[in-house]
């Protein structure tokens, strides 16, 4: 199954672009790696807020050169609406939810999850924000942040 990297994975890869973690842990089967254009927007915002220098911005481009970028489409917008309504327990297509209260995901994570759902991609992340969607809309691969601190 092809992989969609969450923004937090991209940040770790930017911090240590020479790391073999991408090849050895995240993607040992050499699947296609994709990134949502939403994650690129997040990265650019983080770069502005933290005043990243030229070298770090070049590293961002180097990392992004290794992946395919997924743009927003009408189908993606519709998938976003479905998943957002599901996460809020208000999707009329569902009567049974695996959680008892609404799950308030960040809007960027909703776009990332929607991209994965639409394209049949596995989300690779370091956090639990996508877990309530696992095996319903998407597959989730959680990587422990400790693996990035070697």
- Whether pLDDT at 150 is above 70: no
Q: DSSP readout, 42-106?
A: HHHHHHHHTT--HHHHHHHHHHHTTSEEE---HHHHHHHHHHHHHHTT--TT-S--SSSS-----
Please state the pTM of the whole predicted model: 0.94
Average pLDDT over residues 25-52: 95
What value does the mean pLDDT of the chain take? Answer: 94
141/15 Cα distance (integer angstroms):
20
What domains are defined for the chain? 3-148 (3.40.50.1010)
Q: How many residues does the chain have?
A: 150
DSSP state at residue 147: G
Question: 110: closest CA among 132, 134, 83?
Answer: 83
Question: 119: closest CA among 34, 31, 15, 11?
Answer: 34
User: Two tokens at 59?
Assistant: 């590293």
Q: DSSP readout, 51-62?
A: T--HHHHHHHHH
What pLDDT is stored for residue 17 in this prediction? 76
Average pLDDT over residues 124-148: 93
Least confident of 47-51, 55-59, 143-147: 143-147
Average pLDDT over residues 46-60: 95
Write down the number of H helices and E strands in the chain.
6, 5
What pLDDT is stored for residue 20 in this prediction? 80
Q: How confident is the model at residue 9 (pLDDT cuts 50, 70, 90)?
A: very high
- Whether pLDDT at 41 is above 70: yes
């Amino acid at each position: 199954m092809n992989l969609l990297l969450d923004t937090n994975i991209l940040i770790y890869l930017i911090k240590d672009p020479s790391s073999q973690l991408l090849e050895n842990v995240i993607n040992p089967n050499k699947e296609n790696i994709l990134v949502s254009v939403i994650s690129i927007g997040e990265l650019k915002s983080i770069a502005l807020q933290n005043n990243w220098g030229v070298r770090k911005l070049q590293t961002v481009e180097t990392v992004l050169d290794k992946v395919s970028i997924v743009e927003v489409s009408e189908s993606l917008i519709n998938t976003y609406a479905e998943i957002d309504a599901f996460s809020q327990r208000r999707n009329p297509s569902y009567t049974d939810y695996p959680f008892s209260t609404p799950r308030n995901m960040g809007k960027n994570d909703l776009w990332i999850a929607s991209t994965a759902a639409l394209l049949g991609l596995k989300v690779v992340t370091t956090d639990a924000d996508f877990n309530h969607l696992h095996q319903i809309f998407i597959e989730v691969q959680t990587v422990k942040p400790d693996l990035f601190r070697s």
